[in-house]
Copies of this chain bind each other. A is one copy, B any other.
Amino acid sequence: MNEVLKNNKGLSLTIGKSLFKNPVFVNSGTFAGGVEYNAFFDISKLGAVTTKSFSLEKKEGNAPPRIWETSSGMLNSIGLQNEGINYFLDTQLCKMKELGADIILSIFGCDTEEFKKIAAKIKTIEKELKAVELNLSCPNVREGGMAFCAAPGQIGPVVSEIKNIIDVPLIVKLSPNFNTIIESAIISKENGADAISIINTITGTAFDIETFKPRLANISGGLSGPAIKPVALFHVYRLAKEKILPVIGMGGISCWQDAVEFLIAGACAIGVGTANFINPVISEKIIEGIAGYMVSMGFSSLDEMVGKAIKES
């Protein structure tokens, strides 16, 4: 353990009124509630565990097959299968607390009403959450999902209504599939959001040339993994430069060098997703890697490092 890691403050950051111990989060939908991954390492070490997105009611998700591997990437069309917000409140929250996880709760609604109802439900436990992430960018559902990003005007009411109900830092998660990230970030800020998280997956597809059937029952899915890293990094850099809201960067991060690249491009924190599937201890390794990098580069706090590439270019 080196200086920067020992002195907790070196890696810490705040989003809204929440303090995070380090900038390494895990991405919604790739880590469930963390219980499985705790078999591999102590998940309380993470800056935050972002939960799978929860909707008001249980959602059964899309028909299988739901995943398909592509060159350095994967397509998924899970379709937000989840047990509903009550499951989080009644079962999962308590397990995550036991493991000492710092929690970002990801929620999903197909309209403002559903979001409001979820917000009302989590009101009572809001103190247990570091932040709430609004998934406005799922490519795999018919209603809501990335439709919000196609028509950013709809983002305003969702954010402001939720802000009225709960007093937790709000993160808005956006899609790269429309050229609306900056516009959406401005609207999110105006309505009280505390951070933007980008990117959700990029829409893609694949077909079986023997049967002519799509590889995913849902036809299209979301591309994630190293293949999308340069695109994600570009969106993070472009948004961070605008200094609208803090940006949580994600998309293909697979090693500490990738994480550092997002941080210097302007992300205040980063999220590890698909890489967890390949190496279940990678997020722990990334924390260590960032700390080691900071020591070797002489950075004593994240602030000194975040956005370095913006300043230099």
| A positions within 8 Å CB-CB of B | 70-73, 75, 150, 177-179, 202-207, 209, 211-214, 219-220, 223, 225-231, 233-234, 237, 252, 257, 260-261, 264-265, 293, 308-309, 311-313
Contacts and interface: CB of A to CB of B under 8 A. Distances in A.
Contacts of A229: 70-71, 204
B261 A308 contact: no
A213 B261 CA distance: 10
Contacts of A206: 230, 233, 261
Contact of A209 (B211, B219, B252, B257): B257
Contacts of A228: 227
A227 B261 contact: no
Contacts of A209: 257, 260-261, 264, 293
Chain A interface main SS type = mixed
Given A204-B234, A209-B293, 13 more contacts: A70-B227, A71-B252, A72-B72, A72-B226, A73-B230, A204-B231, A207-B264, A207-B265, A212-B309, A212-B311, A213-B312, A220-B237, A227-B227
A72 B233 CA distance: 16
A75 B213 CA distance: 31
Contact of A313 (B203, B213, B230, B265): B213
A256 B191 CA distance: 50
A213 to B, nearest CB: 6
Contacts of A293: 209
Given A71-B226, A312-B213, A207 B220 contact: no
Contact of A204 (B150, B219, B230, B313): B230
20 contacts: A70-B230, A71-B72, A71-B73, A71-B226, A72-B72, A73-B230, A178-B179, A203-B231, A204-B234, A205-B230, A205-B237, A209-B264, A209-B293, A212-B264, A212-B309, A212-B312, A212-B313, A213-B309, A219-B237, A227-B227
> By CB atoms of chain B within 10 A, which of A211, A228, A230, A260 has the most?
A230
B214 A231 contact: no
Nearest to A263: B209
A229 B204 CA distance: 8
Contacts of A205: 230, 233-234, 237, 265
A257 B208 CA distance: 9
A8 to B, nearest CB: 23
A223 B264 CA distance: 21
A228 B205 CA distance: 11
Contacts of A220: 234, 237
A289 B312 CA distance: 48
